[in-house]
Structure 1
Amino acid sequence: MALIQTSLIWVAYAVAIVFLLTIASVFVYLYQTPRDRAASVTIVCIFTTSALLATVLLMPVDIALVSSTSLSSQGRKKDWATPDKVDSIVYTLQIVYYTLYSLDAVLCLLVVPFTYFYYEEYDEDAAEAGEQTAGSRLWGALKYTIAFLLFVVILFLVGFFVPFARKAKHDNRLDLDYFKHLLQENHGERALTFALGLLMTVGTLIYTLYTASGLALLPVALIKSAPFMSAPALAANTASQLEQNRERQRQLEGRNEGREGGLDARDRRELEALIREERTLIRRERLAAESSGEDRHWLVKAWIKMEAVFRPLKLLGGIILMVLALIIFVSMLITGIDKAKNSICKAHCGYILGHINIFQPINWIFVISSKVFPIDYVLYLLLILFFFSASVVGIATVGIRFLWVTLFKIRKGHTSPQALLMATVMLTLMVLAINYSVAMIVAPQYATFGPQTYCDRPARHAGEQPDCSNHKSAIKPCTELASNPVAKDVCTPSVASTFINRVTVNFPFFGIIDFWAQFVFLGIYLVVFLMTLFRAPRMDEEQLDADLEEEEEEGLLASTGRRFNATWQDITGRTKKSGGYGTTERNGERS
């Protein structure tokens, strides 16, 4: 029975990985530009995205496996869950975690930079002339990657020799077996803990800006995803206006042929205005072609059609996600306040809480759902995809920047390979930060012990487990602060929470930054959310003309009827011949 249950949990994880591979592939193909698609960049981005999502989605598997060793309804271990069996499960999880974490670090610090430089080394003219070979590109990329290799070596050496957190080690408040276990690690574990703690902290700084913004913008993007004018109607109107514009330019030029001095001042101003309008119409024509999916990869075309079909559901989905984001905000705020006020050792151990003192909705939902696997796994998958999608929207909106300078822009179908690789590195770091945030702030009790409980009554005989079958009130949820000897034998913390707590206890500096950054995250989310209530975000402004920019600033519930009509036209590929969307206004007149 135990083997069947364990196997089903791992099978669910395998199915999730296949699902994640599909999501990663769609994400990469949607955003990369078709003209500069490179096989090496595509493969690395898909594999890296899949690996980082597989890492963060291992947590519910971890919780399900350690929770499967106990009978939560009776507060005791199952008969088959001997200490050796439990240690075997934990050891297997540790191997998988260390493998995935190490893989993420290698991909982020070595593989992706190497792929970036390998792509940059390509010279089309030199390749056509036979002056550049694959070997020369490899050597050129390796030269630049050596700096990253040295950084990795230095990072692990610092983690290998850095001393323990002495204040935490001699803090009497941590004189419990759970916390002593966190401080007992060898030099190799310490080096990996330090390296990933540093990457997690760097990712947290990026996460506070991009994911917080995306969490507020994603629901609004869904609500406003239906266009005011369908792609066929936009293309037809634009072609008509462009022809009228060019005909007027020909009239002005023909009327002034042979005139000394050329065009007079009035005609020159009109011609200049027509030329500016022509550039705008050409951009709008290109935008309509991109929206219809012409000359695009079949996957992108299929995605565009699916978007058009499901647009009516996006309004409802956007409202649901907005409510969910607000619930997450409240839950994170509650946990943050609880940790700041009731943490047993505050900054000395990175604000480890011990147990929740205030009702927290997200944590409660996960603890209740975890009693029946895989309900909690499905909910956790949706939560992670929400955070991941918010991170992508944040990067697409803000762009890849250094201070105020925009280095790259992330846009569907227009993202260069270099930008895609940098975005992949940023997403890797942000997912590590999401792993910390979900485990320590969003659902801390669920992430640590899941639904595990223990019987707070003495055993009748030595060597027996206590019986709470007739004393349900004596069954208590497992916490880090449980000092009952029974809790030590029954409660098994998840490997993920143990690893993250090990980072914050042994290196409190990381824990302090990661904890207080959550309040910055909430502040940025609140500011962006309030802004979106009054003004919708502008994205890819240089590709939209002034009329489209004005429509972007309309309220969320404005022109709903036009959106649904445009959706139907995008699905059918036809436009109305008169009225509605077949006409546009320009300079106060209908054309």
Structure 2
Amino acid sequence: MALIQTSLIWVAYAVAIVLLLAIAIIFVYLYQAPQDRAASVTAVCILTTSALLATVLLMPVDVALVSSTSLSSQGRKKDWATPDKVDSILYTLKIVYYTLYSLDAVLCLLVVPFTYFYYEEYDEDAAEHGEQTFGQRFWGAFKYTIAFIVFVVIIFLVGFFVPAAKWAKHDGRLDLDYFKHLLQENHGERALTFALGLLMLIGTVIYALYTGAGMALLPVAMVKSAPSISAPTLAEDTAAQLEANRERQRQLEGRNEGRDGGLDSRDRRELESLVREERTLIRRERLAAESRGQDRHWIIKTWIKIEAVFRPLKLLGGFILIILALLIFVSMLITGIDKAKNSICKAHCGYILGHINIFQPLNWIFVKSSKVFPIDYVLFLLLVLFFFSASVVGIASVGIRFLWLTIFKIRKGHTSPQALLMATVMLNLIVLAINYSVAMVVAPQYATFGPQTFCDRKPRHGGEQPDCTNHKSAIKPCTETTDSPWAKDVCTPSVLSTFINRVTINFPFFGVVLFWAQFAFLGVYLIVFLTTLFRVPKLDQEQIDRDLEEEEEEGLLASTGRRFNATWQDITGRGKNYGTTATNGERS
């Protein structure tokens, strides 16, 4: 039974990874520019995105495996859950976690930078004449990557030798087995803990700015923006208007033939107006072609069809996501206040919370759903995808910036390989921050012990475990500060919560910044959410990108009228002319 249960949990994780791979492929192909597509960049971005999503989705597997060792209804361990069996489960989880975290760090700090410089080293003219070899290009990229290799080595050396909170070993507030265990680590573990803690710290700054804004923009954008006319209809109307425009220009130019003074002032003004209108119609024609997926990868065309199918549900989905975002906001705020007020040792241990003192709705939902796997896994998958999508929208909205300078813009179908690689690195760091946020703030009880409970009664006749079969009131949820002698043998904390708490206790500075950054995240969300209630969200808020400006002007992101007609025509690929053709110079 134990083998079957653990196998099913890992099978569910494998299915989720396949789904994540599909999501990563769609994300990369949806945003990259077709004309600048490079196989190396595409492969690295897909691999990195899949790895970072697989890392954060290991948490519910972690919770399910450690929870499977106990009978929550009776507050005791299952008969098969011997200490050796439990240690074997935890050891397997540690191997998977360390592998994924190490892979994320290598991809983020070495592989992606090397791929960036490798793409930059490509010289098309030199390659055509055979003057640039693979070795030259490889060495040129490797020279710049050496700086990142040195940075990685420095991080691990600092983590290996830096003293780790020696005061905590003598702090009576941490005189419990759970906290003592966090301080028992070798130098190798400390180096990895420090390195990932530093990356998590950097990622949290990006997370607060980009994911906070994206979580507010994504739902409101779904509610407020939808095409009022289908792409096929727009293309047909534009083609007809363009033909009428050019015919009128030919008529005016025909009048000019043989006339000494040229066109009179009235005809000249009309011709200039027609030329400006022609440029607008040409841009509109290009945008309509892009919206239909012409000359695009089959994945993009399929995605456009799927978007059209689900467009009628977009409004409803937007309202649901607004409710979800507000629920996340309230839950995080409650946990933040609880930690600030009731933490065991406040800033000295990174605001570790011994147990939840205030009812927290999202944590309660996850704890209750975790009693029946995989309900909690499905809910967690949806939560992670929401955070990931919010991060993508945030990066697309704000762009990749250094202070007030925009370095790259992220746009569907127009993102350069360099911008896509940098966005992938940012998402990698953001996911590390999401790991902390979900585990420590969004659902702390769920992420630490899941539905595990213990029986707070003395055993009869010297039994190994107390019996709470007829004493349900004595069954209590497992917490970090439980001092019952029976809880130590029953409550098994998840590997992820142990690792994150180890970061915050051994390096309190990380814990303090990570904790207070959650309030910054909530502040950014609140400001952007209130702003978007009165303004239609735009992916290019400073209107630097001219194409998006024209796209809005031409109605591709207009209000929600004629939604169902547009949906059907986008699905079938056939439009209907509504009689808006301009003739004889009539303005569109």
TM range (shorter): over 0.9
Q: Secondary structure at the match of 1:461?
A: helix
1:265 positional shift: 6.7
Aligned residue in 2 for 1:543: 547
Aligned residue in 1 for 2:331: 331
In 1, distance between residues paired with 2:258 and 2:401?
53
Judge conservation of contact 2:241–2:582 (CA < 8 Å) in 1: no
CA gap 1:4/1:239 in 2 versus in 1, 3 angstroms: same
CA gap 1:412/1:550 in 2 versus in 1, 3 angstroms: closer
1:461 positional shift: 3.3
Letter aligned with residue 516 of structure 2: W
CA gap 1:545/1:15 in 2 versus in 1, 3 angstroms: closer
Gaps of 5+ in 1: none
In 2, distance between residues paired with 1:421 and 1:235?
33
Judge conservation of contact 2:244–2:583 (CA < 8 Å) in 1: no
In 2, distance between residues paired with 1:422 and 1:268?
49
Aligned residue in 1 for 2:497: 497
Aligned residue in 2 for 1:149: 149
1:239 positional shift: 2.1
Aligned residue in 2 for 1:403: 403
1:547 positional shift: 8.1
Q: Secondary structure at the match of 1:229?
A: coil
In 1, distance between residues paired with 2:584 and 2:405?
35
Q: Secondary structure at the match of 2:401?
A: strand
Gaps of 5+ in 2: none
In 1, distance between residues paired with 2:161 and 2:424?
31
The percent of aligned pairs where both chains have the same amino acid is 82
CA gap 1:247/1:552 in 2 versus in 1, 3 angstroms: closer
In 1, distance between residues paired with 2:466 and 2:208?
46
In 2, distance between residues paired with 1:403 and 1:336?
28
Judge conservation of contact 1:48–1:424 (CA < 8 Å) in 2: yes
In 2, distance between residues paired with 1:174 and 1:380?
31
CA gap 1:271/1:62 in 2 versus in 1, 3 angstroms: same
Aligned residue in 2 for 1:96: 96
In 1, distance between residues paired with 2:133 and 2:228?
50
Q: Secondary structure at the match of 1:362?
A: helix
Letter aligned with residue 82 of structure 1: T
CA gap 1:248/1:483 in 2 versus in 1, 3 angstroms: same
Name which of structure 1's ranges 199-208 and 409-418 shifts more when overlaid on structure 2: 409-418
Judge conservation of contact 1:283–1:544 (CA < 8 Å) in 2: no
1:263 positional shift: 6.5
Aligned residue in 1 for 2:569: 569
1:136 positional shift: 0.9
In 1, distance between residues paired with 2:560 and 2:26?
29
TM-score, normalised to structure 1's length?
0.94
CA gap 1:585/1:327 in 2 versus in 1, 3 angstroms: farther
CA gap 1:524/1:377 in 2 versus in 1, 3 angstroms: same
In 2, distance between residues paired with 1:100 and 1:586?
65
In 1, distance between residues paired with 2:406 and 2:362?
36
CA gap 1:552/1:226 in 2 versus in 1, 3 angstroms: closer
In 2, distance between residues paired with 1:437 and 1:584?
55
Judge conservation of contact 1:226–1:567 (CA < 8 Å) in 2: no
Letter aligned with residue 547 of structure 2: Q
Matches within 5 A, 1:158-169: 158-169=158-169
Does residue 202 of structure 2 align to residue 198 of structure 1?
no
In 1, distance between residues paired with 2:67 and 2:393?
35
Judge conservation of contact 1:536–1:552 (CA < 8 Å) in 2: no
1:275 positional shift: 3.6
Does residue 51 of structure 2 align to residue 47 of structure 1?
no
Judge conservation of contact 2:363–2:446 (CA < 8 Å) in 1: yes
Letter aligned with residue 276 of structure 1: R
CA gap 1:21/1:578 in 2 versus in 1, 3 angstroms: closer
1:544 positional shift: 4.2
Aligned residue in 2 for 1:484: 484
Aligned residue in 2 for 1:377: 377
Q: Give a deviation string over 1:405-461, Cα, whole Å, max 9, x none.
A: 211111111111111111110110000001110000100000000000011111223
TM-score, normalised to structure 2's length?
0.95
1:519 positional shift: 0.8
In 2, distance between residues paired with 1:81 and 1:549?
64
CA gap 1:545/1:344 in 2 versus in 1, 3 angstroms: closer
Name which of structure 1's ranges 153-162 and 459-468 shifts more when overlaid on structure 2: 459-468
Letter aligned with residue 415 of structure 2: T
In 2, distance between residues paired with 1:361 and 1:547?
41
